[in-house]
Amino acid sequence: MNSGQGAIPMDKLWQDVTERSADDPSLVIDVAGFEGPLDLLLHLARSQKVDLSRISVLALAEQYLQFVESARRVRIELAADYLVMAAWLAYLKSRLLIPQQVKGDDGPTGEEMAATLAFRLRRLEAMREAASQLINRNRLGRDIFARGAPEHIPHRVQSAYDASLYDLLSAYANLRQRTAVTQVTIERRKVWSLVDARELLTRMLGEIADWTALQTYLLPYLPPEDRVTATASAFAASLELVREGKLDIRQDGAFQPIYLRAGSGRLAAETSQPGAGE
């Protein structure tokens, strides 16, 4: 904005409209408050207080041109868009004032140009109205409020135990029973078979010519956990050898040691062999 000697103060041009009388024809407008020349035209159309569908485009163009001329007189620097709109409105005014169009002119007529301008103003008015409705809607947190979150109420729990010693022991036993291992695996015992015991006694026949306790040949060579099964299997095998005449067996009393010796039938067979007496 340029200012010089004799220029009209801007405060007088930008005074509030309510401070002026209704008959004052002066144009008071804030250029910086408009988004463009079309916005300025919409403001001028509203000042006529008529419907945009019945607005006088010619009168609106004259008001706009007067505004541009007033701005030039007070040396206000206008944007190029405002000057372009002023030139276009001057052209529109000239087309509206000419009753007959030149033949062969393919351009739009003045009425068509005026209708196009009126349509653009109505469309801008509709957009402004929609924007105003959106802005003036109730806002969350200002006009309306969401449902409040439930207030957290702390809970303090105090436990009171009323149990006897029997109840405590029962609860502990139930807990141990639920957590105890229920699967029991019994390790398989090592058992001497009769075949093994018979083979062992057969190898020992030549060494037991006299009465000898059965455990004498078993206990020194077996671990403690295998002595019971070895004794039982050896006793069963010795009974079979006695039945075959290869072994003699005796026991002096109940729960007394069992004695073994080579059978008389086996000794007679060995002595009857050729070369046995040599």
The pLDDT of residue 228 is above 70? yes
Q: pLDDT-derived band of residue 22, with 50, 70 and 90 as boundaries? A: very low
pLDDT tens sequence across 252-266: 888 888 888 887 655
Q: pLDDT-derived band of residue 142, with 50, 70 and 90 as boundaries? A: confident
Please give the share of the chain, as a percent, with pLDDT higher than 70.
64
pLDDT tens sequence across 112-140: 777 887 888 888 888 888 988 988 888 88
pLDDT tens sequence across 98-112: 766 555 566 777 777
Q: Where are the domains of the chain?
A: 10-100+107-135, 194-271
The pLDDT of residue 38 is above 50? yes
Terminal alpha carbon distance of the chain:
156
Q: pLDDT-derived band of residue 18, with 50, 70 and 90 as boundaries? A: very low
CATH superfamily of 194-271: Structural maintenance of chromosome 1. Chain E (1.10.10.580)
pLDDT tens sequence across 40-65: 666 666 666 555 555 566 777 777 77
Q: State residue 169's pLDDT score.
A: 92
Question: Full-prediction pTM beyond 0.85?
Answer: no
What is the rounded CA–CA span in Å between residue 47 and residue 26? Answer: 13
